[in-house]
Amino acid sequence: MTSLPPQPLSPLDGRYRGVVAPLAEYLSEAGLNRARVEVEVEWLLALTDRSLFGTSPLADTERDALRELYRSFGADEIAWLAEREAITRHDVKAVEYLVRDRLATLGLDRIAELTHFAATSEDVNSLAYALTVQRAVERVWLPALSAVRERLDELAVEHRAAPMLSRTHGQPATPTTMGKEIAVFASRLARVERTIEASEYLGKFSGATGTWAAHLAAGPDVDWPLVAREFVESLGIGFNPLTTQIESHDWQVELYDRARHAGGILHNLATDVWTYISLGYFTQIPIAGATGSSTMPHKINPIRFENAEANLEIAGALFASLSQTLVTSRLQRDLTDSSTQRNIGVAFGHSLLALDNLRRGLDEIALAQDLLSTDLDANWEVLGEAIQTVVRAEVVAGRSTISDPYALLKELTRGRRVNAADLAEFVRGLDIGEEARARLLALTPATYTGLAMELIDREV
């Protein structure tokens, strides 16, 4: 058997590449290296802007040329770094050498020794990861989450007045509206979305063990913590002044836990919509040319929601692993975090793929109101809750002498199908006031939805 030509091992880099490609701009190896070059360049500018060690601020043309190193980062730089890292066996050192090489090309040899000055690799990495994760989340992943939540808002309003039978424990229960049930998911997602929007992205720049020791040895009169803070914050990143060799990753733990939480809500959404489809509450809109089964031509399978479910489970497991690993570092440094962080893009990739499937799936379903109405009309016994509650109120008000309203309705309805005529006859025979009797006789499963419609108007 001949060997296959080189193939992507992960489906994210294979069949799903088109969906997750926007994340690769930031969370790929190349995206990380571009951010590392950005950090190295901006550190050079921070040092020269302060005229440290006899330097002076660079001319505008020199500054622009230097920044082009990361702004125009592309295939040549990727290949250069791969070749050099094969020798250095150290990714950040290869980046340092790249910057030094380009300084020579730009005629800026005079500041070459300030490249990576007093920095440990984790100074550069902490900022590079903060930049890439922040940009991936804010520019790619969060907009995809918002698109799903916004679609849910639209569906909640569209179906606000569509009564349906609830199913608690899978059994017929007090009616609701489809809009209100969808709104629950939209509200849950919005809450987590707000916490993710408020996430911190932190970095450190304090040297080998977080003490600025090398910095002070070279420049004892410089306020290095202030220099570091101003530099880090100039990148749009929060500053962590108290660290070991690494920034402690707690902001990452918080972010990945929130992303996993959002994924859990989305997973619940996927399984509920799948169930509504199986009940016939939603029909699926046929897509021209699509095949549901290789042998059963009639089938339209809910693959969008099944795909989302599976990818959310993979993403959730990866986010949990990231959180569990990154919260711990042995003494002042160990390398478990380095290997773990290389999978950040994989976690967000599976999550983004799920979001794409959910958004598309929600556009490919239609509410089967006729079936919802039929289901409601076949389950009049769900009004037992309303009847026994009204009778209780009548007893308290002195308009009824019934001793145990709940037991009375339990005997009538538990485990039994009761139709409209049966309930009407039962209500007419109750010892209650006429106004209450009239309200109960007017009630149907389709109108017994409480404030479901008003909740949409208030909350969505």
Active site residues per annotation? 169, 293
Helix (H) or strand (E) holding 175: strand 171-177
Could you give the domains of the chain? 19-119 (1.10.275.10), 122-287+294-369 (1.20.200.10), 380-444 (1.10.40.30)
Per-residue model confidence (pLDDT) at position 358: 98
Question: pLDDT over 90 for what percent of the chain?
Answer: 88
pLDDT in tens, 304-326: 999 999 999 999 999 999 999 99
Per-residue model confidence (pLDDT) at position 411: 85
Provide mean pLDDT across the span 105-127. 96
Provide mean pLDDT across the span 176-198. 98
What's the mean per-residue pLDDT of the chain? 94
Residue type, position 13, single letter: D
- Write out the DSSP string of 135-173: HHIIIIIHHHHHHHHHHHHHHHHHTTT-EEEEEETTEEE
Please, what sign has the CA dihedral across residues 273, 277, 280, 285? positive
Confidence tier at 161 by pLDDT (50, 70, 90)? very high
Provide mean pLDDT across the span 36-44. 98
pLDDT in tens, 51-77: 999 999 999 999 999 999 999 999 999
- Whether the CB-CB separation of 199 and 172 falls below 8 Å is answered with no
Task: Tell me which DSSP letter residue 331 carries.
Answer: T
CA distance 174 to 140: 40
Per-residue model confidence (pLDDT) at position 4: 87
CB atoms within 10 A of CB 200: 14
Model confidence, pTM: 0.93
CA–CA distances in Å: residue 206 to residues 118, 123, 124, 223, 388: 8, 7, 10, 12, 69
Provide mean pLDDT across the span 121-145. 98
Per-residue model confidence (pLDDT) at position 6: 87
Provide mean pLDDT across the span 366-379. 96
Confidence tier at 298 by pLDDT (50, 70, 90)? low
Per-residue model confidence (pLDDT) at position 274: 97
User: The tokens 């025979």 sit on which residue?
Assistant: 429
Per-residue model confidence (pLDDT) at position 301: 84
Question: Is the confidence at residue 291, as pLDDT, over 60?
Answer: no
Per-residue model confidence (pLDDT) at position 460: 81
Question: Is the confidence at residue 380, as pLDDT, over 80?
Answer: yes
Confidence tier at 414 by pLDDT (50, 70, 90)? confident
Question: Is the confidence at residue 230, as pLDDT, over 70?
Answer: yes
Locate 186 and state its tokens: 């939209």
User: What does residue 85 show for φ and ψ, rounded to 5 degrees?
Assistant: -65, -30
Question: Is the confidence at residue 299, as pLDDT, over 80?
Answer: no
Confidence tier at 290 by pLDDT (50, 70, 90)? low
Locate 184 and state its tokens: 């629950």
Report which of residues 118 and 458 the model is more confident about. 118
- Which long-range contacts (C-beta less than 8 Å, at least 24 apart) are formed by 175-179? 175/376, 175/382, 175/445, 175/446, 175/448, 175/449, 176/449, 176/450, 176/452, 177/449, 177/452, 177/453, 177/456, 178/276, 178/281, 178/367, 178/372, 179/155, 179/452, 179/453, 179/456
Per-residue model confidence (pLDDT) at position 5: 87
Provide mean pLDDT across the span 111-123. 96
CA distance 159 to 456: 10
Task: Print burial letters for 395-426: b (CB count within 10 Å at least 16), e (below 16).
Answer: beeeebeeeebeebbeebbeeeebeeeebeeb
